[in-house]
Structure 1
Amino acid sequence: MKKLLTVAIAAAALAGTAQAQTIQGNAKAAEAKVAMCIGCHAIPGYRVAYPEIYSVPMLGGQSAPYIVAALQAYKKGERKHPTMRAIAGSLSDQDMADIAEYYSAQTPATPMNKLK
């Protein structure tokens, strides 16, 4: 019984991984999705003081897998910033992939409305 349960859990994990790997980000599609990001992540040196002081990172040039992983961690509650948890909770896996692709196609100095 334990062996069957272990196999079932492993199969479910692999299925989830395979599904996540098939999602391709689309930077163009993200242009309509990043408005909520720009207010904080487009301001060099920006800090947020709620609920504690956070230095807000610039996202341009960040790797797409890192951005997706960070958004998923906020959505799962593994990262604690309340605003980011709420935003990530509203995003689908496709939204996350699109946003990640959008920001990875930029440099930190790229204007927010211009792709490479």
Structure 2
Amino acid sequence: MKKITVLSQLALCASLSFIGFAAQAQDLKGSAQAANAKVWLCVGCHSIPDYRADYPLVYRVPMLGGQSAAYIASALAAYKKGERKHPTMRAVAGSLSDQDMADLGEYYAVQTASSPNNPLK
């Protein structure tokens, strides 16, 4: 009987922590305006049409303008966690908070492919 109670309590704790995490993620709102002070991390590579990085392999650097905010934020989070492997992007993403990632996502979502890095007024 005691074993079932412990397992039930563990399951309840796990459920509550997941709910708390989901609620926190939903509360995080990005600001394109706030990203103006952060976008300098990105423009060195992502603002150059047809740019290719050559470390560790030749890699075509994508233009980010017009991508969805959620995609940008989730890609940055994946680099930060090591789920995506490019070393430069991992280092950049490692310096970002969740709020920074949400802000950068919103910033690029309002851009277009032809003007991906113009600071917002």
TM-score, normalised by the number of residues in structure 2: 0.89
Q: Does 1:19 align with 2:37?
A: no
Q: Is the 8 A contact 1:61 1:106 kept in 2?
A: yes
Q: What CA distance in whole angstroms lies between the structure 1 residues aligned with 2:9 and 2:116?
A: 53
- Is there any run of 5+ residues in structure 2 with no aligned partner, and where? 1-5
1:83-98 matched pairs, under 5 angstroms: 83-98=88-103
Q: What CA distance in whole angstroms lies between the structure 1 residues aligned with 2:116 and 2:98?
A: 25
Query: How much is the aligned-residue C-alpha RMSD, in angstroms?
Result: 1.5
Q: How many residues align?
A: 116
Q: Is the 8 A contact 1:106 1:115 kept in 2?
A: no
Q: CA deviation at 1:2?
A: 2.6
The residue type equivalent to 2:77 in the other structure is Q
Single out whichever of 86-95 and 106-115 deviates more from structure 2.
Answer: 106-115
Q: CA deviation at 1:94?
A: 0.8
Q: Point out the structure with max Rg over C-alpha.
A: 2
- Is there any run of 5+ residues in structure 1 with no aligned partner, and where? none
Q: Does 1:112 align with 2:117?
A: yes
Q: Which residue of 2 aligns with 1:31?
A: 36
- Partner-residue secondary structure (3-state), 1:28: helix
Q: CA deviation at 1:6?
A: 2.5
TM-score, normalised by the number of residues in structure 1: 0.92
Q: Is the 8 A contact 1:105 1:115 kept in 2?
A: no
Structure 1 runs of 4+ aligned residues shifted over 3 Å read none
Q: Percent identity?
A: 60
Q: Does 1:78 align with 2:83?
A: yes
Q: Does 1:67 align with 2:72?
A: yes
Q: What CA distance in whole angstroms lies between the structure 2 residues aligned with 1:35 and 1:58?
A: 14
